[in-house]
Chain A
Amino acid sequence: MNLAAVNRVLLHPAAKPLLWLLCLVPLAGWIWGGFHGSLGANPAETILRGTGSWTLRFLCIVLVVTPLRQWTGLNALARWRRLLGLYVFFYSVLHFLAYAWLDMGFDPAAVVKDLARRPFALVGFLAFVLLVPLAATSFNRAIKAMGAARWQRLHRLVYAIALLGLLHFFWMRASKHRYDEVLVYAVVIGGLLGVRLWRRLQAAPSPRAAPVARNAQPSRVTGS
């Protein structure tokens, strides 16, 4: 298949709804497991860890979109970025809910006290809080109201969020000296942020070769 054909498949009207459904598979798995008692001896832990892992995975997936689009020229991928970004938020909400409800018994005072006592949890919470403005400005009218440049600057927060999420995960695993999985996420996130930094450095010395011009896109998808 050539590039145009792949682009056509990606642009098929059914592609986005399919992706939307595919992203719900992890959630469906926990619900199914909950009803069938197959979430293991400690279902709360399974859900808490699962929602956390999927938040981190969706973060990696959404950060892949722009470099992959630039590298392959599959511009249709840009259409998926917002959906994937919102799924980062969706799973982070589930992760926070699992923590607040299953671990803290939905007691706000207990949550506040716990966050104050455990920097590990606080870092995760901070990443979650930073996701809120991104999710809140994800619709077209917000982008228009803010202006593309400001919107893009705000949405660069995702890099900080990714690093905080990684720190949160590293900190959890550090207590048991299990670094193998952390290393995989660190390499992926580090690589994806590194690619952006590299492109920026490449573009910087010569103001004439502004990359924006070459990759001209509708304003809401130019942010990388």
Chain B
Amino acid sequence: LPGNRSAVPGAMVMDKPTAYADASTYNNFYEFGTDKADPARNAGKLQTRPWTVAIEGEVKKPGVLDLEALLKLAPMEERIYRLRCVEGWSMVIPWVGFSLAELVRKVEPTGNAKYVEFVTLADPKQMPMVGSRVLDWPYVEGLRMDEAMHPLAMLAFGMYGEVLPNQNGAPVRLVVPWKYGFKSAKSIVKIRFTDRQPGTAWNKAAQQEYGFFSNVNPEVDHPRWSQATERRIGEDGLFAKKRPTLMFNGYGPQVASLYAGMDLRKFF
């Protein structure tokens, strides 16, 4: 899946990309198992064609978009983003896709649309863990409207110049590089525009631990993991000191203005 170099400011970080083998075998995709190696083992059965994405809620043009139509919605761009997991590790991944804003503009949200909700596939026939009580399925994520419209928030269809491997969220996923990885919902089947903040999967599971915003923030710790530092997968040696985590994962110059005046300790 080819893409042109993105011209969006901040979209091409200079960090060395993570090895494809690591990025495609060390995954959190709980529908396929809770171990990091499970998704690569179990996601092979996922049927990614035919695939549709329903557009619902506060929009002038609701409907069902076929994946083929979605792929043609805007020119494909390659973007090299840092990915910071809430567990304290990070990767650098060259994604292929386009700004989520392209889709949002096409479906014309009404004045009532304040948030965007992303609903992902929850099919027990294809996903062994759906039905377990690990999370309240389907996995739901959400963004505030201005976050969704930010050019760095992207819909990705590929990585490393290829179509997304199933375990990485095929056929279409969200990538929001300044937030912890779990905000970037995988295998999306529905995008809903709402006037109310969506109940997101991890927020519902543990409110004190996972906030709605979940911006990468070295100042606000998770009870289990210090967020001050991170280990870059495949690059930082076993005995290397962990590298400091950057506010907004280093995307502060582009996104900090979205949160001007907000207490980010409260709205974590």
Give the A-B contact count at a CB cut-off of 8 A: 56
The interface stretch among A35-43, A68-76, A213-221 is A35-43
Q: In the complex the two chains form, what is the Cα distance from A103 to B221 in whole Å? A: 15
User: Do residues B224 and A44 form an inter-chain contact, with CB atoms below 8 A?
Assistant: no
Per-residue CB contact flags for chain A residues 39-72 toward chain B (1 = under 8 Å, else 0) read 0111111010000000000000000000000000
User: Do residues B239 and A101 form an inter-chain contact, with CB atoms below 8 A?
Assistant: yes
Per-residue CB contact flags for chain B residues 225-262 toward chain A (1 = under 8 Å, else 0) read 11000010110001101100000000000000000000
User: Do residues A118 and B231 form an inter-chain contact, with CB atoms below 8 A?
Assistant: no
User: Do residues B222 and A41 form an inter-chain contact, with CB atoms below 8 A?
Assistant: no
User: Which of B37, B205, B221, B233 meets A118, CB within 8 Å?
Assistant: B221
The interface stretch among A4-12, A148-156, A174-182, A183-191 is A174-182
Query: Closest B-chain residue to A177, C-beta based?
Result: B134
Is residue B89 contacting chain A, with contact meaning CB distance below 8 A? yes
Is chain A's interface secondary structure helix, strand, loop, or mixed overall?
Answer: helix
Q: In the complex the two chains form, what is the Cα distance from A175 to B221 in whole Å? A: 13
Known: A105-B242, A177-B135. A120 touches B231 (CB 8 A): no
Closest CB of chain B to A83's CB: distance in Å?
29
Closest CB of chain A to B165's CB: distance in Å?
14
User: Do residues B226 and A45 form an inter-chain contact, with CB atoms below 8 A?
Assistant: no
Q: In the complex the two chains form, what is the Cα distance from A101 to B133 in whole Å? A: 35
User: Do residues B34 and A176 form an inter-chain contact, with CB atoms below 8 A?
Assistant: yes
Please, how many residues of chain B have a CB less than 8 angstroms from a CB on the other chain?
27
Bin the interface of chain A by size: 20 to 34
Is chain B's interface secondary structure helix, strand, loop, or mixed overall?
Answer: loop
User: Do residues A45 and B89 form an inter-chain contact, with CB atoms below 8 A?
Assistant: yes
Closest CB of chain A to B21's CB: distance in Å?
8
Q: In the complex the two chains form, what is the Cα distance from A45 to B89 in whole Å? A: 10
User: Which of A41, A172, A178 meets B233, CB within 8 Å?
Assistant: A41
User: Do residues B22 and A41 form an inter-chain contact, with CB atoms below 8 A?
Assistant: yes
Is residue B25 contacting chain A, with contact meaning CB distance below 8 A? yes
User: Which of A41, A107, A119, A176 meets B234, CB within 8 Å?
Assistant: A41
Q: Give every chain A residue within 8 A of B226 (Cβ-Cβ).
A: 114, 117-118
Q: Give every chain B residue within 8 A of A45 (Cβ-Cβ).
A: 89
Q: Give every chain B residue within 8 A of A176 (Cβ-Cβ).
A: 34, 134
Q: Give every chain A residue within 8 A of B135 (Cβ-Cβ).
A: 177
Is residue B223 contacting chain A, with contact meaning CB distance below 8 A? yes
Known: A102-B238, A177-B134, A177-B205. A42 touches B223 (CB 8 A): no
Is residue A34 contacting chain B, with contact meaning CB distance below 8 A? yes
User: Which of B22, B89, B209, B224 meets A172, CB within 8 Å?
Assistant: B224
Q: In the complex the two chains form, what is the Cα distance from A172 to B21 in whole Å? A: 27
Is residue B206 contacting chain A, with contact meaning CB distance below 8 A? yes
Q: In the complex the two chains form, what is the Cα distance from A119 to B242 in whole Å? A: 21
User: Do residues B238 and A43 form an inter-chain contact, with CB atoms below 8 A?
Assistant: yes
Is residue B106 contacting chain A, with contact meaning CB distance below 8 A? no
Per-residue CB contact flags for chain A residues 99-116 toward chain B (1 = under 8 Å, else 0) read 001110101000000100
Q: Give every chain A residue within 8 A of B37 (Cβ-Cβ).
A: 40
Q: Give every chain A residue within 8 A of B196 (Cβ-Cβ).
A: none
User: Do residues B241 and A105 form an inter-chain contact, with CB atoms below 8 A?
Assistant: yes
Q: Give every chain B residue within 8 A of A105 (Cβ-Cβ).
A: 241-242
User: Do residues B26 and A40 form an inter-chain contact, with CB atoms below 8 A?
Assistant: yes
User: Do residues B22 and A119 form an inter-chain contact, with CB atoms below 8 A?
Assistant: no
Q: In the complex the two chains form, what is the Cα distance from A92 to B221 in whole Å? A: 25
Chain A residues close to B by CB (< 8 Å): 34, 40-45, 47, 101-103, 105, 107, 114, 117-120, 171-172, 175-178
Listed by A's residue number, 24 A-B pairs whose Cβ atoms lie within 8 Å are A40-B37, A41-B21, A41-B26, A41-B36, A42-B36, A42-B89, A42-B231, A42-B233, A43-B238, A44-B231, A44-B238, A101-B239, A105-B241, A105-B242, A107-B241, A118-B221, A118-B225, A118-B226, A120-B223, A171-B224, A172-B224, A175-B209, A177-B133, A177-B206
- Given A41-B25, A41-B36, A175-B209, list of 13 further CB < 8 A pairs? A41-B22, A44-B238, A101-B239, A105-B241, A117-B221, A119-B223, A120-B223, A172-B224, A175-B223, A175-B224, A175-B225, A177-B134, A177-B206
